[in-house]
A and B are shown apart, each in its own frame.
Chain A
Amino acid sequence: MSLAVTALAVALALAACASGSARAAEGDGVQVTLLLYSGRPNPTFTLTAEQAERVTQLLAEALPDPDFRGGSVLPSILGYNGLLVRGGAQDLAVYGGRVEIQGREGKRIVSDGGALESFLLEAAAQNKALDAEQLRFIQTSRDKQQS
């Protein structure tokens, strides 16, 4: 009886380890949402561990942006509105060269020249999270924003 219980406990522990490894390989479940739609659900994808690590690096390189005025970096317009990153150490909103970091200490804004946004959009394309029409839509919106 006790042998069976022990075997079950070991099996459960192994299953938990396997599950943990899978999560780590997917960047511990860090999810990115691309903001294209107002009503219907927006496309999402999960970062790989390497991609999640790169996000951490890019955040570390960003500079504080004390001049930012406004409640959110996400623009309240109909069209492309940036990206959300959730499930990591901090939740992020990313748009137009700025990143809104939501952590335990509250919200802070950093400026990165658009590096994180570009990286996440490349990751979305690599992960096949967007179709050709969606990619074109975002590219057109970013071109307009920069002109």
Chain B
Amino acid sequence: MRRRAFYASAALLAIAVGACCSIPTYTPAFWNSNIQIQWDNNCYNYSNNKRTDTFAQPGRAAGAMYTTLECNNVRTAAVADGLVAVAGPNNCPKKECTLALVVDPGWDYHWYRRDQNGMWTHKPGPTPATNLDNSGNPIPNPETADRGGYTDFCGYLCSCSRSTEGNGSENIN
């Protein structure tokens, strides 16, 4: 009887630990040193720190994919996946990762993530993950970074990430 209780407690503890979110460090080697990982995972995978090898799309896992390439539509799709929209860059719960969404209206969307050191990093499509913007500068603030044609800044969302790279907790696909 005691043994059963012990195992039940251990299982509950494992579930609780597994459900914990944490903020990742900038670890580009995970995303860049294997071509399947690099080529088949995009900015949405990287920012959520979740490898799916499917070029994940906001809302697809929830059956509510975006229908237009503008801020509100893409943000709503990401919220359907479980991300939480917040008013500013410092509004996410302490252990959750802050993401920033930007849009090149009618053309495409893009995501950044804030790592443990407070700097922002991203992965433009199938290219390597990087901590630099389009001008080659580090990114302390995605609102002022050189984002090429992605001129619409759509705001911030919280994601349950992990310190283990590629293993984020959000349900994206």
Q: Report A's interface with B, CB cutoff 8 A.
A: 33, 35-42, 71-72, 74-79, 81, 84, 86, 91, 93, 102
B39: which A residues are within 8 A, CB to CB?
84, 86, 93
Q: Which residues of B contact A74 (CB under 8 A)?
A: 126-128
Cα distance, A77 to B149, chains bound together (Å) = 11
Contacts of B74 in A (CB 8 A): 39
Interface size class, chain B: 20 to 34
Chain B nearest Cβ from A2, distance in angstroms: 46
* Inter-chain contact B35/A41, CB cutoff 8 Å: no
| B63 part of interface (Cβ distance < 8 Å) | no
Contact of B32 among A71, A86, A91 (CB under 8 A): A71
Q: Which of A33, A36, A38, A86 has the most CB of B within 10 A?
A: A38
* Residue ID in chain A nearest B107 by CB atoms: A37
Q: Cα distance A8–B147 when bound, in Å?
A: 59
Contact B110 A78 (CB under 8 A): yes
Is B111 close to A, CB under 8 A? yes
Which DSSP category, helix, strand, loop or mixed, fits chain B's interface? Answer: loop
Closest to B66 in A: A40
B interface residue numbers (CB < 8 A to A): 32-33, 35, 38-39, 42-44, 55, 57-58, 69, 74, 104, 107-111, 123-130, 132, 134, 147-150
- Among A38, A39, A74, A86, max chain B CB count under 10 A is at A39
- Separation in Å of the A88 CB from the closest CB of chain B? 14
Partner of B127, one of A33, A39, A81, A86: A81
**Complexed CA–CA distance, A37 and B55 (Å):** 11
A77 and B122 CA atoms in complex are apart in Å by 10
Contact (Cβ within 8 A) B129 A76:
yes
In the assembled complex, the CB of A105 is this many whole angstroms from the nearest CB of chain B, namely 14
Q: Are A39 and B128 touching (Cβ within 8 A)?
A: no
Assess whether A38 is in contact with B42, with CB atoms less than 8 Å apart: yes
Interface centre among B104, B127, B128 (most CB of A within 10 A): B127
A1 to B3, CA, bound (A): 62
Query: Are the C-beta atoms of A76 and B69 separated by less than 8 Å?
Result: no
Query: Contact: A71 with B109, CB < 8 Å?
Result: no
Whether B127 contacts A72 by the Cβ 8 Å rule is yes
Given A38-B43, A39-B42, residue A75 in contact with residue B127 (CB < 8 A): yes
Known: A35-B126, A74-B127, A78-B134. 15 other contacts (CB 8 A): A38-B109, A38-B110, A39-B43, A39-B110, A40-B109, A41-B57, A72-B128, A74-B126, A76-B130, A76-B132, A77-B148, A78-B110, A81-B125, A93-B35, A93-B39
